[in-house]
Amino acid sequence: ILRPFAPQLIPIIFCFLLIPLSLLLSGTAGFLVWRNIAAGWETPIYLQFGDGIPPYALVPLPKLASQQPYDISLHLVLPATESNYALGNFMAKVTLSTPSNKTLISARRPAIAYPPLPSFFLRNPSTLTLDVPILSSYVPGSPRLLASVELGRQDSWMNLGSGEGREIRVVNASIKGLVVRHGIRGLVSRFPLTFAFLSATSFFAVTLSILGTCILPTMLRSK
């Protein structure tokens, strides 16, 4: 009974069988687009103290978008102590290098810990937060980088007025990268889910168009 209609039915059945595969491939395409969109990041820093040099650390950064510009800074949480205030200016140094030990860039920026303004209603905080901008709109050029971080003063061996060493005290620290949004790349990073959905939809539409182009002539010839 169905034999006369077989030339028309086979392409239709074949098309319907391929639709789930097209949906799967479209979803995968959207997921890959979303996964590869550049995003900001933050990595903790575990400083080493007591080695006779300013506190330092070597930190592997998360995977970066190699052509995406980032604003890189240090986020420091310091004890609200008189020794940190008396230290005055100190330097924050960051050196970025590849895993093969090729130095890409090195930057030093000054920082200072200010005591909070006194308040009659609030207790003085036990810690203070300090953000030190290091690099502006930096394009890493490589997805894998190491950050060498150094905080403090080269004259840390000298004493302050009460006999404390001139070394910065740190509760915790991290290095951050914020995406600099420019042009189409910046628009994509601002609306990642929207562009992932558009990519999946476009892929599905193109796939259906290709299927229609291949199957429709077969159905017409069979008539």
pLDDT value of residue 119: 65
Decide if 77 contacts 127 (C-beta within 8 A): yes
How many residues does this entry show for the chain?
A: 223
Number of H helices, E strands in the chain: 4, 8
Q: In the prediction, which pLDDT does 209 show?
A: 80
Residue with the two structure tokens 């550049």: 38
What was the pLDDT predicted at 33? 72
Please choose, from the candidates 77, 57, 82, the residue with its C-alpha nearest in 3D space to the C-alpha of residue 151: 57
Mean pLDDT of the 86-98 span: 92
From the list 176, 173, 175, the residue with the least C-alpha distance to 48 is 173
What average pLDDT does the segment 177-205 reach? Answer: 77
Domain segments of the chain: what residues?
3-36+191-222, 41-182
Say what the pLDDT of residue 187 is: 67
| CATH 3.30.2010 at 41-182, yes or no | no
Buried b (16+ CB within 10 A) or exposed e, 79-103: bbbebbeebeebbbbbbbbeeeeee
169: pLDDT strictly greater than 60: yes
Q: What band does 129 get if pLDDT is binned at 50, 70 and 90?
A: very high
Contact (CB, 8 A) for 76 and 131: yes
163: left (phi over 0), alpha (psi -120 to 50) or beta: left
Has residue 49 got a pLDDT over 90? no
Q: Is the pLDDT of residue 27 over 80?
A: yes
Q: Please check whether residue 42 is in contact with residue 175, taking contact to mean a CB–CB distance below 8 angstroms.
A: yes
Kindly state the percentage of the chain with pLDDT values over 90. Answer: 34
Closest CA to 155 of 164, 165, 170: 165
- The CA radius of gyration of the chain, in Å to the nearest whole number, is 29
Whether pLDDT at 64 is above 80? yes
- 68-80: pLDDT as tens digits: 889 999 999 999 8
Distance in angstroms (rounded) separating the CA atoms of residues 154 and 55: 10
Give the CA angle between residues 183, 186, 191 to the nearest 5°. Answer: 125
**Per-residue pLDDT tens over the stretch 107-125:** 999 999 888 776 666 677 7
Q: Which residue has the higher pLDDT, 134 or 211?
A: 134
